[in-house]
Structure 1
Amino acid sequence: MSTDRHSGFFLVITTYNRSDYLEGLLASAAALNPAPAGVIVVNNASTDDTAEVIEASRAQFPVPLIHHLLAENSGGAGGFCAGVERALAEGAQWMWLMDDDVTCVPDAIGAFAPWMEKYDAMVGRRYDAAGGPFYWQNDFSAFLGFPLPVRGDVFATSDEFATNVGCFEGMLLHRDAVESVGLPDPRFFLTWDDAIYGWLVSLQRPVMYVNEFVLHKVRAQRTIDLGIRHLNDSSDLSRFYVMRNRGLVGQYLRVHGRFNPLGFALGTALTAAKELVRLVGVEKTLRGSGRLIAGWRESRRILAATDFEPMPALRHKP
């Protein structure tokens, strides 16, 4: 890796019809010190004024601001796939991935710098919309195909925590990690894509959760604290894909020889139970449970396919 740890550092932002959030994020990205080498905004075929917001921001941006427009909405997974591919084409050495409903802490790149000397896959911390720490400390169980919460403060004795999942709201990746695993899988469309991507990276190299606050959540979410984990509100679209994508999770486990039918079935039941608790506890309704059933049925079709191929690893070009 380069001795200049800021060299080739790109932000990769995925957005869809949330120009108000995007405007705030771009303003915070423009204020980063040190500055990145460039910012790529993947516009998932937005129908609002997203294009105009990007163009207006470009005129005042201190580094190249690239508007990567997709012909159709490919979801967060497809957006990050396209964004990472574009970043690699632009010569990125580091790619900091994020959704549009966050803002950057001004010294975030400098905060990452010491960790970039040691690791090439990491997730920084986030503040929630109220300014407190945003909950994230999952550990992926290959037996269940399900992320388990970690009890207690993972930073109680160290400023780094070895994890085996990713989070595309703040994950930082070196191109070596990306090229060894391949691009994020757009077939997920929404949810599970980052968890599985982080797991795939962790099979080859460390993935670290580091005690550096680098992002602010700006979209307030309803949430409940279950003690060992938190649950935020969701949507019918997310509910469908969280169950549907169990099929893709199972296929990736199979590829790597980690698929246990009984464990995976239990993990699927836990996924459904978590979403039902989310519905009742956070959203105070059972409406939306039909989308869970529809997603589960689709997951069975995906899991039954015998022609599944993972995303291919990438190779260095001369």
Structure 2
Amino acid sequence: MTTSAVVVTYNRLPLLKEVIAALQASETPVDHLIVVDNHSDQETKEYLTKLGTAIEYVRLEENLGGAGGFNHGVRYFMEHTQDEFVWLMDDDTVPAPDALGKLLAFAKTEPHFGFLSSDVRWIDGHRAKMNNPAPKHGLFKIPENETTPVELMNATFVSLLVRRAVVAQIGLPITAFFIWGDDIEYTERAGRVAPGYFVPASRVIHKMGANVGSNILHDSLERLPRYFYSYRNKKYYGAKRDLLGRIKSNLRIYGEGLQLRLLPGISHRAERLKVWREGVAAGKQFNPDIEFADRYEE
């Protein structure tokens, strides 16, 4: 059960070093460790270059965001390896020594999966709010003490395992997403081919600065431009769902717009509404191409 790990990084060298060390200490070694560098600064470039053959170093000519990084990483996996699985993660994802082994153990029992997602925790041991697994059936969150695998609607690129055969069928993550939602779209695309699962026995730590979710109502002005991509991308992948899914997606999007207009105490309301409107409007026209990797050749 050969596996390539893909780590996408951008100017977070101390965290990246920890992630690489954790992957190298994995009880189940990866067959290829692919690091996609989104045109980080010279210090990161020099460090990764010095690792030599310990990694497969893919340096991009410009910062294409997480979406572009994962697009190039999955493409490299398909075109430069023959591994059966690709294991995707950010540069602040620290896997437990048995994280990959637990995913592969489940893969043996359920070999025709679309994707497998680990249990992503924050540094205090509680589930990372940015990576709450979304169950396919039911309205409730998966409890933190869950021990049984659960079928998912979607998942994030924070310890995600995908089969080569699925990538060949559905194509690559969409570079044009840039940030936010590329993983939701991709896992929902994979889930239309075969079921995706949450594997609670597999654990990783997501070393975000704080355990908070994204929320346009109260996020900092510095992060506000990201929400353009959030709403644009949500409009795109929401439209790919079935009728009930499309209705739910639009209710959430327009409900958040209503809250921006009406809730008291919203700072910089006009700026937030402007980003929301522009993202929603762009999403109605957003129709990016889905790319496919070339075949592996020796």
TM bucket, shorter chain: 0.7 to 0.9
Contact 2:26 2:100 in 1 (8 A): yes
> How big is the shift at 1:299?
3.2
Query: Cα 1:222–1:167, aligned 2, differ >3 Å: closer, same or farther?
Result: closer
Match of 2:72 in 1: 82
Query: Cα 1:295–1:54, aligned 2, differ >3 Å: closer, same or farther?
Result: farther
Contact 2:127 2:144 in 1 (8 A): no
Give the AA of the match of 2:95.
Answer: C
> How big is the shift at 1:153?
2.2
Give the AA of the match of 2:198.
Answer: Y
Are positions 1:311 and 2:296 aligned together?
Answer: no
2:101 to 110, 132, 136: 110
Q: In proportion to residue count, which structure has more helix?
A: 2
Deviations 1:114-172 (A, max 9, x none): 2111143110112211133334122479xxxxxx962452864x611001112101111
2:230 to 218, 242, 249: 242
Query: Cα 1:310–1:203, aligned 2, differ >3 Å: closer, same or farther?
Result: farther
> How big is the shift at 1:304?
3.5
1-structure distance, mates of 2:245, 2:155: 22
Contact 1:182 1:312 in 2 (8 A): yes
> How big is the shift at 1:214?
2.8
Contact 2:119 2:127 in 1 (8 A): yes
> How big is the shift at 1:28?
1.0
Give the TM-score normalised by the residue count of structure 2: 0.81
> How big is the shift at 1:315?
7.8
2-structure distance, mates of 1:138, 1:31: 30
> How big is the shift at 1:314?
6.0
Q: Secondary structure at the match of 1:243?
A: helix
Match of 1:296 in 2: 277
CA RMSD after TM alignment: 3.3
1-structure distance, mates of 2:246, 2:127: 36
Percentage of identical aligned residues: 22
2-structure distance, mates of 1:301, 1:132: 36
Gaps of 5+ in 1: 142-147, 225-230
Give the AA of the match of 1:241.
Answer: Y
Match of 1:162 in 2: 151
Give the TM-score normalised by the residue count of structure 1: 0.77
1-structure distance, mates of 2:245, 2:144: 28
